[in-house]
C-alpha cells in the first residue's frame, strides 16, 4: 500500500521533470548556449549623473555599419524581441562582435557574438526606461564563460569588475564605445562599475546573489 | 592536481547546463516564487565550492538548494512578512489530486521532504540521505514512516471498504 502511495505521489508531481542521468561524462557543445534577455533586471545601484546613455549609441549616422538584422549571427533566436529589421555592427574587438539596434519605442537591442567556437553569445533588448538610464550593457559575467564585454555610452572610459570588498578584479578600457576583456581571473565579482576619463564612477551595479548578472 | 581556471569554468558550465533545470524543478516544487533565487544562489555556492562538488553532483546541489530555501524562509519569517512562497497549500503543490494534497499537508515537513526527494526528484534513498544530511539507514526509516503516515492519512480521507467504519467494516 505504501508503494501505491509513492506512485500516486509521483503522478501528482507539481513540476514534472525527468532529472538527468548522472553522473555521465562531460558533454560539451560545439557552441555554448545563447543567452537571451528580453529585459534586464533593475539597477541595484542607481546610476549617478552621466552625460550620455546607451540608448544614444545607435541612430547616429556615423556609428558602425548598417546591415540587415537577418545577417546577424544570432538572428534565428531573435523572435519575440521586437528586434528592428536593420542593425548596426558597432565593431569587432578581440574576437567579439557587437550588433546593436534601436527600436522605435526607444528600446535598445544588443547582440554580442563571440567568434570563438565554444564560447557564449548574448541577445538583450532593454526597454526604453532602462536604455535611457544606463551607460553600459554587455555579456552577463560568468554566464557561460568568463568574459567582460559590452558596449558603453559616450563618456565612459573604463569598465571594471569589483570584488565584494571594492577591490578591482578586472578592468577594460572603452574604445569606440566597446570594451572587452577575455581573460578574467577566477574570482567572483560582486559588482560592475563604469568610470569616466577622470576616474569618477558613472554607474555601478551590484550583481547580488547571482554571478551571472547582466552588466 | 588542481584544475586550471579553464577546466574549472568548463566544469561549472557543464554542471550548470546539466543540472540547473533539475534544481529549478526542485525549487519550483517547494517554493515557486523563490525558484529563480534558489537556483542562482545554489549555483553561486557551486561556483565558490567547485573543488568540493562531488562527481555525482545532483544530490549535493539539491542539498545546497534545500539549505538556500530554508535560509530564505527563515529570513522571511524574521521579517514577519506574508510568505507567498512558503504557503504549502494543497492547491499550490498538488493541483491534480485534492485528497492527496490534504493528506500531504498534514505531514511534517521532514516527511514531505523525504517523500518528495524520492517521488519527485527520483532519488534513491541513499541519495536522498545525502540531501538530508543523514545516513542511508536513517533515510530509509524516515521514508518508510512517511509513506505509512501518508497512506494512513489517505485512508482516513477516502475510506475504502477495508477502512469503512460501517458495522460490517467495524465488526472486528
pLDDT for B118: 92
Q: pLDDT grade, residue A133 (50/70/90)?
A: confident
CB contact under 8 A, B8 and A144: no
Contact A195, A156 (CB under 8 A): yes
Q: What is the pTM of this model?
A: 0.47
Q: Is B117 helix (H, G, I), strand (E, B) or coil?
A: helix
Which chain B residue is nearest to residue A146, measuring alpha carbons? Answer: B9
Q: pLDDT grade, residue B143 (50/70/90)?
A: very high
Q: Which long-range contacts (CB under 8 A, 24 or more apart) does B138-143 make?
A: B139/B114, B142/B110, B142/B111, B142/B114, B143/B114, B143/B115, B143/B118
pLDDT for A61: 39
DSSP state of A24: -
Please tell me the distance from the alpha carbon of residue A89 to that of residue A99, in angstroms, as a whole number. Answer: 4
% of chain A exceeding 90 in pLDDT: 10
Q: pLDDT grade, residue A20 (50/70/90)?
A: low
Q: What is the ipTM of this complex?
A: 0.75
pLDDT for A45: 29
Cell of A41: 533586471
Burial of A87 (0-12, 13-18, 19+ CB in 10 A): buried
Backbone angles phi, psi at A37, to 5 degrees: -120, 115
Quick check: B86 pLDDT over 90?
A: no
Instruction: Look at residues A195, A191, A194 and name the one whose alpha carbon lies nearest to residue A205.
Output: A191
Quick check: A141 pLDDT over 80?
A: no
Quick check: A73 pLDDT over 70?
A: yes
Of A27, A185, A188, the CB nearest to B48: A188
Of B25, B28, B115, the CB nearest to A9: B115
pLDDT for A118: 52
Cell of B81: 512578512
Average pLDDT estimate for B76-81? 57
CA B63 to each of CA A132, A168, B66, B131: distance values in angstroms, whole numbers, following the listed order = 42, 33, 5, 4
Counting Cα atoms < 13 Å in the Cβ hemisphere of B145 gives: 12
Contacts with B101 from chain A: Cβ below 8 Å: 12
Please tell me the distance from the alpha carbon of residue B15 to that of residue B6, in angstroms, as a whole number. Answer: 14
The residue ranges of DSSP E strands in chain A, in sequence order, are 34-37, 65-68, 86-93, 96-102, 108-114, 121-126, 136-138, 148-152, 158-162, 168-173, 178-181, 191-195, 201-206
Residues 146-185 of A with CB under 8 A from B: 146, 185
What separation, in Å, do the N-terminal and C-terminal C-alpha atoms of chain B show? 69
Which chain B residue is nearest to residue A118, measuring alpha carbons? Answer: B10
Contacts with A12 from chain B: Cβ below 8 Å: 94, 96-97, 100-101
What separation, in Å, do the N-terminal and C-terminal C-alpha atoms of chain A show? 54
Instruction: Look at residues A104, A122, A112 and name the one whose alpha carbon lies nearest to residue A55.
Output: A104
Instruction: Look at residues B49, B21, B50, B46 and name the one whose alpha carbon lies nearest to residue B36.
Output: B21
Max mean pLDDT range (A45-49, A56-60, A102-106): A102-106
Quick check: A22 pLDDT over 90?
A: no
- Return mean pLDDT, chain B: 77
Quick check: A69 pLDDT over 50?
A: yes
Quick check: B71 pLDDT over 70?
A: yes
What is the crossing angle of helices B136-157 and B109-119, to 10°? Answer: 100
Burial of B79 (0-12, 13-18, 19+ CB in 10 A): exposed
Q: pLDDT grade, residue A119 (50/70/90)?
A: low
Counting Cα atoms < 13 Å in the Cβ hemisphere of A119 gives: 21
pLDDT for A199: 94
Give pLDDT tens digits for A29-51: 444 455 555 544 333 223 332 33
Contacts with A119 from chain B: Cβ below 8 Å: none
B2 CB neighbour count, 10 Å cutoff? 7
Strands, sheet with A136-138, edge to edge from the N-terminal-most edge strand: A136-138, A148-152, A178-181
Which chain B residue is nearest to residue A3, measuring alpha carbons? Answer: B147
Amino acid at each position: 500500500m505504501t508503494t501505491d502511495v509513492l506512485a500516486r505521489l509521483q503522478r501528482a508531481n507539481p513540476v514534472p521533470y525527468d532529472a538527468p542521468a548522472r553522473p555521465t561524462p562531460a558533454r560539451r557543445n560545439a557552441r555554448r548556449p545563447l543567452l537571451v534577455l528580453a529585459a534586464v533586471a533593475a539597477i541595484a545601484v542607481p546610476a549617478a549623473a552621466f552625460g550620455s546613455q546607451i540608448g544614444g549609441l545607435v541612430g547616429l549616422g556615423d556609428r558602425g555599419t548598417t546591415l540587415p538584422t537577418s545577417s546577424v549571427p544570432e538572428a534565428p533566436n531573435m523572435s519575440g524581441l521586437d528586434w528592428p529589421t536593420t542593425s548596426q555592427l558597432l565593431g569587432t574587438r578581440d574576437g567579439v562582435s557587437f550588433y546593436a539596434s534601436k527600436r522605435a519605442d526607444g528600446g535598445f537591442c544588443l547582440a554580442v557574438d563571440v567568434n570563438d567556437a565554444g564560447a557564449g553569445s548574448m541577445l538583450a533588448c532593454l526597454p526604453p526606461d532602462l536604455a535611457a538610464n544606463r551607460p553600459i550593457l554587455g555579456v552577463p559575467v560568468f554566464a557561460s564563460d568568463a568574459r567582460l564585454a559590452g558596449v558603453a555610452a559616450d563618456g565612459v572610459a573604463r569598465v571594471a569588475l569589483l570584488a565584494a570588498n571594492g577591490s578591482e578584479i578586472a578592468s577594460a578600457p572603452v574604445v569606440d564605445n566597446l570594451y572587452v576583456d577575455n581573460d578574467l581571473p577566477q574570482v567572483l565579482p560582486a559588482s560592475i562599475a563604469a568610470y569616466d576619463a577622470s576616474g569618477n564612477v558613472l554607474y555601478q551595479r551590484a550583481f547580488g546573489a547571482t554571478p551571472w548578472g547582466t552588466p | 592536481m588542481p584544475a586550471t581556471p579553464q577546466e574549472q569554468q568548463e566544469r561549472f558550465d557543464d554542471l550548470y547546463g546539466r543540472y540547473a533545470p533539475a534544481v529549478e524543478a526542485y525549487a519550483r516544487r517547494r517554493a515557486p516564487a523563490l525558484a529563480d533565487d534558489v537556483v542562482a544562489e545554489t549555483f553561486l555556492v557551486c561556483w565558490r565550492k567547485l573543488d568540493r562538488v562531488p562527481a555525482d553532483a545532483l544530490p549535493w546541489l539539491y542539498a545546497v538548494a534545500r539549505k538556500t530555501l530554508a535560509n530564505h524562509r527563515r529570513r522571511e519569517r524574521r521579517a514577519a512578512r506574508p510568505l507567498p512562497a512558503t504557503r504549502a497549500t494543497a492547491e499550490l503543490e498538488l493541483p491534480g489530486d485534492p485528497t492527496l494534497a490534504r493528506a500531504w499537508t498534514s505531514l511534517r515537513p521532514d516527511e514531505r521532504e523525504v517523500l518528495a526527494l524520492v517521488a519527485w526528484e527520483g532519488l534513491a534513498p541513499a541519495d536522498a540521505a545525502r540531501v538530508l544530511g543523514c545516513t542511508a539507514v536513517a533515510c530509509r526509516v524516515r521514508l518508510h514512516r512517511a509513506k505509512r503516515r501518508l497512506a494512513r492519512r489517505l485512508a482516513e480521507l477516502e475510506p475504502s471498504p477495508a477502512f469503512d467504519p460501517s458495522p460490517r467494516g467495524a465488526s472486528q
